[in-house]
Structure 1
């Protein structure tokens, strides 16, 4: 098992951090990129912003 720094500098086992801080899943990123690349030539997707829905703005 690998350990890394967690929230507020605490040590956490890999995988535990992701469970404690839910965010976009890999398939969410994939879907956003796929959406951007399948648009017709006359449409431009200039920017994609993906963040957790509970994140402060």
Structure 2
């Protein structure tokens, strides 16, 4: 943003959201959805830490 302001986008502050792509068909199973939702819950509760600086682009 203008002025060098840093606004973090996180699950906790509602700045980061995602949606499942239902058009992928049967590959997106209930088990996958459940695991993704559990990961989101754990990330939001800060039980699961993501080392975003280690991500190689």
Give the TM-score normalised by the residue count of structure 1: 0.28
Instruction: Write 1 or 2 for the structure with the bigger share of strand.
Output: 1
Instruction: Write 1 or 2 for the structure with the bigger share of helix.
Output: 2
Give the TM-score normalised by the residue count of structure 2: 0.28
